[in-house]
Copies of this chain bind each other. A is one copy, B any other.
Amino acid sequence: MSEANHIQPVILCGGSGTRLWPVSRPALPKPFLPLLGERTLFQEAVARVADAARFAQPMIVAGAQHSAHIEAQLEGAEHRLIVEPAARNTAPAIALAACLADAEAILLVCPSDHHIADASAFRAAAEAAMRLAVEDLLVAFGIAPTRPETGYGYIRRGEAIAGGFRVAEFVEKPDLARAQHYLASGEYSWNGGIFAFRAGALLAELETHRPAMAKAVCEAVAAGREDGARFYPDGDAFAAIEGESIDYAVMEPTAAAAMVPADMGWSDIGNWASLQDALSAQVDADGNVARGHADLERCTNVLATSDGPRISAIGLEDVCIVVSRGEVLVTTRAGAQMVGTLPGAQGE
């Protein structure tokens, strides 16, 4: 498969670092934390595409404040780092990579703050996506849903095509009733934010649907500068862009959207309860996960993680306890999605 070498990974590093507070924070957000094991989520993302037979060296798009973490965590791996002059959401970030890549390159866009348990399923889906992308389809990975999640966007399948489906519809985050319907219907997948497309095809669709953005990104690249492995787009041109997600700017308006199903143990580790779920391999007989010094008595389905002080807990069910950097967070699993709104997470 000669095309395999054409897959160009594009790893996006963003996020405000509030949802996994107090461990994550703006200066060290989720991608750069070893949340599940020895490696950080960013290192996992790099390792998933570290296969020269299939993937080119990765392009990484990130803000300047994270460049040092990125270069340290790459541990010498070949890469290109595109330093965003400002955070403008995913569409401009991806367009930067598309402008810098060969127009014929197949980009595989991967968030760096997700966990994927089954890397070989990921690679198989990437190859299926590439075969659609070379036909100028814009391909989203469709994650097999496992619960009526209201925190994700959904993709409704359309016509079956070789290796995947046309996309009938991208759907916004639903309420619980609709999420339950989507799950029961079997027609919907989660939109995991992983995409594949030919660089030239993405830019052509962006030119059609968001011409001002496409123009500004091209200008920012044309006026940018190289510095070793780093590329600095022009700040003025880029900062003038109105931020927008790739979903809104391209995937929803395009007529060329496709989907490849991906059942690969995906989690966005969107909050402490999600992390607890992703740590399922480490649970004890009562469903508890303890990291650091924790004594759990009569607890079930409790996550207890500490960077030092001992946690002692009695009688809790479905609770996450996080002790980090002198902060103590205790939340129900249901409340975990509100962590980002806490005064501590807001830096107060």
Interface residues, chain A, CB within 8 Å of chain B? 22, 295, 297-298, 306, 308-316, 319, 321, 323, 326-332, 334-336, 338-339, 341-345
The answer to whether B343 and A295 touch across the interface, beta carbons within 8 angstroms, is yes
What are 18 A-B residue pairs whose CB atoms fall within 8 Å in the complex? A295-B342, A297-B335, A297-B341, A298-B335, A306-B328, A309-B326, A310-B327, A312-B328, A312-B329, A312-B330, A313-B329, A314-B331, A314-B339, A315-B331, A315-B334, A316-B319, A316-B330, A321-B328
A109 to B: closest C-beta gap in Å: 33
Chain B contacts for A330, CB-based, 8 A: 311-314, 316, 319, 321, 330
Task: Give the distance in Å from the alpha carbon of A87 to the alpha carbon of B336 in the complex.
Answer: 47
Closest residue of B by beta carbon distance from A314: B335
Contact for A312 among B297, B311, B313, B343, CB less than 8 A: B343
A166 to B: closest C-beta gap in Å: 41
Task: Give the distance in Å from the alpha carbon of A40 to the alpha carbon of B135 in the complex.
Answer: 78
A175 to B: closest C-beta gap in Å: 19
The answer to whether B310 and A328 touch across the interface, beta carbons within 8 angstroms, is yes
Query: Given that A321-B328, A323-B328, A328-B321 are contacting pairs, would A342 and B298 also be in contact in the complex, using a CB cutoff of 8 Å?
Result: no
